[in-house]
Structure 1
């Protein structure tokens, strides 16, 4: 019997089998059944018992398979429920078949170990690929766990929420944070690709104002507020920087020279 299974089904139609047997053989058969379900691998020297047990054994195996399938499904449902409660973005990625449940749980474990939102912002697909590479490498896993613990200690001393991160790094991380992107999309009626386009525009805006780093918390807060404000004003995202000042000056000078040349020829 499988681990954790403490019972088995006996069927009413077995009654005919037992009633057709003398009491001593019926007793041997029922003892044989109990020995089998308790993983004792019984061997009977009675050919009648062996023959009658064949059909019963088939039924018991079928029931065991159903029980194991049901147990596995319940386990998966429980794991998915836990993932949905604490890591909705990972749950959505598993539901969309972007990553496996095992991979999502590894990512969730890393988040719990680090106590930061940085890993939550990493691109999920990229982490899944790394998991596939290292899943059988016990040495790498050990090192990664130790590194996570070290990062955890550092995060307490550095106070993660006041630590500034380069804008490009924040942009890369936020682009992989499905829950945050979805929230902005729902509030502003934007499609996923439109949210990413606005994220590009916000980073350009930050660069134009001279900001090259910010805390993750403040970056997300300001980005969401700025996008909503720009959309209310009827603006569209600008994702390419304007020509620099020197280029504008050169273009003006070229136009002036063109006019000088034109009128100089006319006077001649």
Structure 2
């Protein structure tokens, strides 16, 4: 042992403390490092550039609903009707997704109140296989609509999806008309159906229940569209305008009713429910 090692070991400072690797979050937009606690307290919105990060179903329900809400059990469906396999078995992909997420599929329904106004809130989680729409998502969407009909209250759906789930083929596409029928039943019952479009909302979800709401709200900067920008650009052979398919562009062109910051969503929804559904829910 040389003299430098002996001196270093004899110093009273002890070993260097290890810093946890979850203290900081890197913003995906501005690339700035943000203290994780500050990021969480700001509802997963970057305090530097105001970028709205994608959030899971539990966090979304906590942000929107009053305390004491109920999370509906997710429906049971046949999980691999086509025995699909690409580079992996579909069943293996489901197992991997469920190991990383708290719920069995991409759509979760909460039943409760928003600032005292009865509401059922369905949340699509992009973290579960890109929020893709399969039979479980379609069935859960309809289950949420049924609960809203039973309670005679508004149905609010938070969308985030890459489209239909290819591993379920035509069966995933059949969820589009199934969900559309439920939105019609809500309208016939005189119940508000409000859609909150978050990043990203694309494909078959956009082509069905995401664009059938009585009111469409979008989070700032959310990507909203059907086909991808490159596909559209290659088809029409023209350069697309700046901000195309973003929430602000769609609002400017009448596809979205309002763009609302995450901090104001709960207050905005409560105000809308006060106007659209003033009557108390049935017991």
Instruction: Please give the TM-score of this superposition, normalised by the length of structure 1.
Output: 0.25
Report which of the two has the higher share of strand.
2
In our comparison, the structure showing a higher alpha carbon Rg is: 1
Question: Which of the pair has the greater relative contact order for Cα pairs under 8 Å at 6+ separation?
Answer: 2
